[in-house]
Structure 1
Amino acid sequence: MNRHTATFHIALVFPVLPVLAIVLAIVLAGILSILPALCTAEEAETKKKKDTGILSSYLEQALTNNNALLAARAKLRASSHKIPQAGVLPDPKLTVQYYLEPVETRTGPQRAALALNQSLPWFGKLVLLRKLADHDQALAHAELAATELDVTRQVKEAYIAYSFLGRSQEILSNNLELLRYLEGIARDRYTGGKATYFDVLKVQIELAQIQDKVRTIKESAVPLRIRINNLLGVAPERSRPVPKYLPEISLKKKPTTLHSLALKNAPLLQAAQERITKTETKTKLAQKDFYPDFTFSLKTILTGSAEYGDPPDSGDDPIIAGVSMNLPIFRERRHAKLAEQKAAVQEAQSRKSEQERTIQNQIEQGLYAYQDAKRKVALYREELLPKVRQQLEVAVSGFQSGKNSILEIIDAEKSLLTFELAESRTLADQALAVAQLEAQVGLVVANWQEQP
């Protein structure tokens, strides 16, 4: 019975095995077919993350190590330490006097004196002095924020220039490959008697010129790298990979809102307003100068016992309380100081108004540069570059068939190179305009990690 049962199970298993094998083969084939695509997508995503991390890494290093920012932070710390020093009473003064010749009095000889003096400024002066220290700290905060924006702008500008350099290298390298291909065609046609040696020389001359441009661009990477390293606060000779793309930066804020955003967030305007408030506080302090400051004193005289007789106060140390004050009788000086501070308030207000107009003007210029560059990028991509590439294909095809000369190919090749470099230049100009706008507005108004 067991033997028959075992035989029955084997008979059931063997027919199923071919079916399972077919299913497994189909699944395995599907996995193998999509594996290269998955690997390619994963590599592309890894490269994208690596590339997008370049600028963020630059900004992180700059905000940590840039010398201008380190100085601004140190200034802020110094201003914060000024606050405990301001708005407090001056130190009391202890006076010790020793009489070289004792003064004989009825109650005994006076040999020494001790006095304690405490000055008290007029009411409200200490509060105003404390406010001045608060103003200095607020100014240091605004200046630090402005410095951060400026350093960020410089890093982005240097990154854009470095990216434009890498993109230009790639364009020129592609152009070199095209010229080498054309040189091969020209040589073959010259060998076959279908072209002249002039055609070969023309291609070689153009090839040499492009090679020289490649060398120039590679050499220009050195000062750009040094500039980036200086902004990042690292050694100038530190190597930096050249990005292979130019970021396409688009505004994420409506252009019509940039002016209002700048009025709210621009650190330069905040600093200008703080200077107005500070000069107003100084004006109030100058008004307090028309009133006297007081000094309260407490004094005792060390007296010995009387040598003759027994007076009732013999040997007693007298205690003297006193008050003194300065007399603000020289009014002209005080009026001049008050007029000076009022003029300083007007100056600060005028400077803020001028700063607002300057920021608005720079925002308008930045918007124009951004929109103009965006329009040109669309022109190159949608019209000029497709047509010039088609022109080059027609010229090469005509040259191969003997209908066109090499001059027409060179002319089309130059046009293609010119337009590709011009497109990269406008992309860089578009990103530069956004960097300038962000520096004026005081906010990040674009996504700087976008890929082209």
Structure 2
Amino acid sequence: MKTTLKILTLFICTSAFAQEHLTNYLETAAQNNPALKAQFNEYMAALERVPQVGALPDPTVAFGYFVQPIETRLGPQQAKISASQMFPWFGTLSARENSVEALAKAKYELFEETKSKLFYDVKATYYNLFFTEKAIGITLENNEILSSFKNLANIKVESGLASAVDAYRVEMEINDLENHLALLRDNSTVLRVKFNNLLNVDDATVIQITTELSESILLSKQTELDSIMANNNALSSFDYQLEGLEYRKKSATKEGLPQFSVGLEYAFIGEGISTTSNAGQDAFVFPTVGISIPLYRSKYKAKVQEVIYLQEAKSFEKSDKQNTLTVLFESIWKDYQDANRRFSLYQEQTELAQKSLSILESNYATNNIDFVEILRMERKLLKYELEMHKAVADREAAVAFIEYMQGK
């Protein structure tokens, strides 16, 4: 009982260690990854458009000088300056602001989508590294086992109890394992470079890889699919784009309504022949009010119809994305289920192969049984151990992809 508790405690501590390191790596990736930074800056740029579209048109200022002053009852008008401000129909500016703000939110959802995809890539690469390091360790262990078999075969050959072919066979198996080991180490190098590039750190940075992965909580298919449809960043982006188009249609409708202008005119009056009490005053203000009437209705109708078509297009795009996500989820759910089945299968097969190999080794040491059976069983044991850890890595990668589709 005490031994079981110690193993359980060690497993929990190892899992916590692994999760802590992976969380730190995800934070580093979020802070450093250039693609993610680029997406965030696009979102910030989209936000800067809100005050641009919500501002009134720039006021118009004009100055006029009369080469030949115009005589008025107050005196000769020498020059005048005017200023006017155009005001769109009520609610037009707020509709434009809301449209651009919604599109900025859509950009933010795409930023979140990029971040979720980055996190998945980091996790998947980490799990591949976990498997590769496990495979290297298992291959080295099997190499040691084969070396012991080689020594045993040499002893039997020297004593005349076995053929030299047994020693040659084990030597061939060792050569194959060494070649496979070299390939695994090359794969590890490639994965480490990829992992560090995702984090945007130096390629030579040491990566801490856990020795065990914690078992994921058993997932419910319908619950996970519902979560994808409710939280997927791409779908949320479509929702905000549709919202922005609705405000854009409202703005296009209001652009077809009259616009108003308010202005002032300031006249410079010189000394003249007038004898009135206020003659010669140097300024006179004329308040002005104007209205812009949109007579060419086809242009504004076309603007509204354009938005309606865009809304329909976005709705179809969203439906297509939902269908794509459903198919993608079914595929990754198949991988998740397959990984769980493979893990259970190869865990049991590994235990049986270990017991069988132990019996065969004892029999070979005391009897003259066929050495090929030992090598065949050793190959099976190597395969089952590798497949068991591959199933663990594949299962965690499938869970990570489901989380990515859920916007986590």
Asked if TM exceeds 0.5, the reply is yes
Deviations 1:330-376, CA, capped at 9 Å, x for gaps: 22222222211100011111111222222222222222211121012
Q: Residue 337 of structure 2 corresponds to which residue in structure 1?
A: 371
Q: Any conservation in 2 of the 1:112–1:303 contact (CA below 8 Å)? A: yes
Q: Please say if residues 115 and 297 of structure 1, whose CA atoms lie closer than 8 Å, have aligned partners that are also in contact.
A: yes
Residues 138 and 382 in structure 2, CA contact (< 8 A), matched pair in contact too: yes
Structure 1: how far apart are the matches of 2:321 and 2:391?
29
Which residue among 98, 113, 129 is the counterpart of 2:80?
A: 113
CA gap 1:421/1:353 in 2 versus in 1, 3 angstroms: same
Q: Take 2:176 and 2:94, find their aligned partners in 1: how far apart are those partners?
A: 73
CA distance in structure 2 between the aligned counterparts of 1:89 and 1:336, rounded to whole angstroms: 24
Question: What is the Cα deviation at residue 124 of structure 1?
Answer: 1.4
Q: Tell me how many residue pairs correspond in the alignment.
A: 406
Given that residues 84 and 264 in structure 2 are in contact (C-alpha distance below 8 angstroms), is that contact kept between their aligned partners in structure 1?
yes
- Report the residue type matching 1:250 in the other structure: S
Letter paired with 2:305: A
Larger Rg over CA atoms: 1
> Tell me, which stretches of 5 or more residues in structure 2 are unaligned?
none
Partner of residue 413 from structure 1, selected from 365, 378, 395: 378
Partner of 2:358: 393
| 8 Å contact kept, 1:389–1:416 | yes
Verify: 1:94 aligned to 2:73, yes or no: no
Name the structure 1 match of 2:400.
Answer: 435
C-alpha distance 411-252 of structure 1, shift in aligned 2 (>3 A): closer
Q: What residue identity is the alignment partner of 1:208?
A: N
Pick the aligned partner of 2:202 from 229, 235, 241: 235
- Per the TM alignment, residue 322 of structure 1 is displaced from its structure 2 partner at its CA by 2.3
- The C-alpha deviation readout for 1:225-266, integer Å capped at 9, x for no partner, is 111112112122323244433x24423553221222223222
Q: In the alignment, is the contact (CA less than 8 A) between 2:143 and 2:174 conserved in 1?
A: yes
Q: Which residue of structure 1 lines up, in the alignment, with residue 220 of structure 2? A: 254
Residues 43-442 of structure 1 aligned to structure 2 (within 5 Å):
49-245=16-212, 247-306=213-272, 308=273, 310-311=275-276, 314-316=279-281, 317-382=283-348, 384-442=349-407
The answer (yes or no) to whether the contact 2:347–2:385 under 8 Å persists in 1 is no
Paired residues of 2:15 and 2:214 also in contact (CA < 8 A): no
Secondary structure class of the residue paired with 1:236: coil
**Residue 80 of structure 1: how far off its partner (Å):** 3.6
The two structures, once aligned, show a CA RMSD in angstroms of: 2.6
Asked if the contact 2:75–2:274 (Cα under 8 Å) also holds between the matched residues in 1, the reply is no
Cα shift readout 1:122-142 (whole Å, capped 9, x = no counterpart): 121011012123213322332
How does the TM-score come out when normalised to structure 1? 0.82
| Superposition deviation, residue 431 in structure 1 | 1.1
Alpha-carbon offset, residue 409 of structure 1: 1.5
> Kindly tell me: are residues 41 and 439 of structure 1, through their superposed partners in 2, closer, same or farther at Cα, counting changes over 3 Å?
closer
TM-score by length of 2: 0.91
Question: Which whole-Å deviations, capped at 9, do the CAs of 1:67-124 have from their partners, x for residues lacking one?
Answer: 2332333333334443333423233233223334433445322222111111100121
Secondary structure of the corresponding residue to residue 39 of structure 2: helix
The structure-2 alpha-carbon separation of the partners of 1:206 and 1:151, relative to structure 1 and needing over 3 Å to count, comes to same
Percent of aligned pairs with the same residue? Answer: 25
8 A Cα contact 1:251 1:434, kept in partner: no
